[in-house]
Amino acid sequence: MPLKIATWNVNSLRVRLPHVLNWLEAEQPDILALQEIKMEDHRFPHEELHAVGYNSIVCGQKTYNGVAILSKQPRESLDAVNCLYQEDEQRRLLAVTYHDVRIVNVYIPNGAHPSDAKYLYKLHWLEQLHNFLQTQLLLYPKLVVLGDFNIAPTDNDVHDPAAWEGQVLVSEPERKAFQRFLSLGLHDSFRLFTPDDKVFSWWDYRAAGFRRNLGMRIDHILISAPLVASCAASYIDKIPRSWEKPSDHTPVITVLDEK
């Protein structure tokens, strides 16, 4: 049976809950990974999501960051749940096991600017994530790593590469870190089906970025080699970005046809 997996940086789940509920009812993914829910766990809208058929695992915090994984499966069946990087006060990573598929939801730091301390935090976080994924692959051959990576891997993922050269989201150290994930044996599922086209997952709120299609592809779904043969589709759903009061990101979806 197909396994439909999606990721969406919602930029406040409190504000975006109506969008998320509408989208879940229409698209019926098996898994939806959320980033930037921007709320503490006790404020998470479990009841509203359960009313449309979804159970949730949450790793939240006040005001900033926060990740969650939604599934139609009972919470208890998503065993080996981890809220990782306990030493990091920023809640940016959550992993669950769905049948024999390990799913790692990440909200990688933005990095602000290459001269900012937050950029060094981002590079450090990427290094830690690389080490974590290396270990996860040994434990779980079927691995999905999805979320807001805050990295546009190539110039085909950037509306104006010349204007952005060297900036955060596209700088060489960030792209090298992304390539290191691929070197672990992970594959950018979107590019299995759309090798070259410029298709974006995020548009800046400012300067009418969406209307002018001044975007970037920074939200990704990476899959390990044992899942590549079963990958039936991967695409970006631009529609929610056109709704009233949207997130600046839009959902990315990958379908696995697991036998």
Partner DNA sequence: ATGGTGGCAGAGCCA
The one segment of 24-32, 50-58, 183-191, 200-208 that binds DNA by CB under 7 A: 200-208
**Active-site choice (148, 157, 188, 248):** 148
Alpha helices in the chain (DSSP H): 13-27, 46-51, 117-139, 161-164, 172-183, 189-193, 225-228
Q: Is 46 left (phi over 0), alpha (psi -120 to 50) or beta?
A: alpha
The minimum distance between CB 93 and DNA, in angstroms, equals 14
Q: Which of 54, 98, 107, 140 is catalytic?
A: 107
Establish if 38 lies at the interface with DNA (CB under 7 A). yes
Cβ-based nearer residue to DNA, 80 or 208: 208
The region of 59-67, 138-146, 182-190, 191-199 touching DNA under the rule CB under 7 A is: 59-67
* Whether 205 is catalytic: no
Q: Supply the DSSP string of 21-62, one letter for each residue.
A: HHHHHHH--SEEEEE---S-GGG--HHHHHHTT-EEEEE--S
| Residue 148 annotated to the active site | yes
91: burial class by Cβ within 10 Å (0-12, 13-18, 19+)? Answer: buried
Q: Is 156 in the site for DNA (CB under 7 A)?
A: no
**How many CA atoms within 13 Å lie on the side-chain side of 211?**
4
Q: Which two tokens stand for residue 130?
A: 């690389």
**Does 112 sit near DNA (CB under 7 A)?**
yes
Is residue 15 close enough to count as binding DNA by CB under 7 A?
Answer: yes
- Considering beta carbons, is residue 4 or 175 the nearer one to DNA? 175
- DSSP symbol at 204: -
Shortest distance (Å) from residue 101 CB to DNA = 28
- Catalytic residue positions, numbered: 107, 148
The residues binding DNA (CB under 7 A) are: 11-12, 14-15, 38, 62-64, 109-110, 112, 118, 150, 205-207, 245
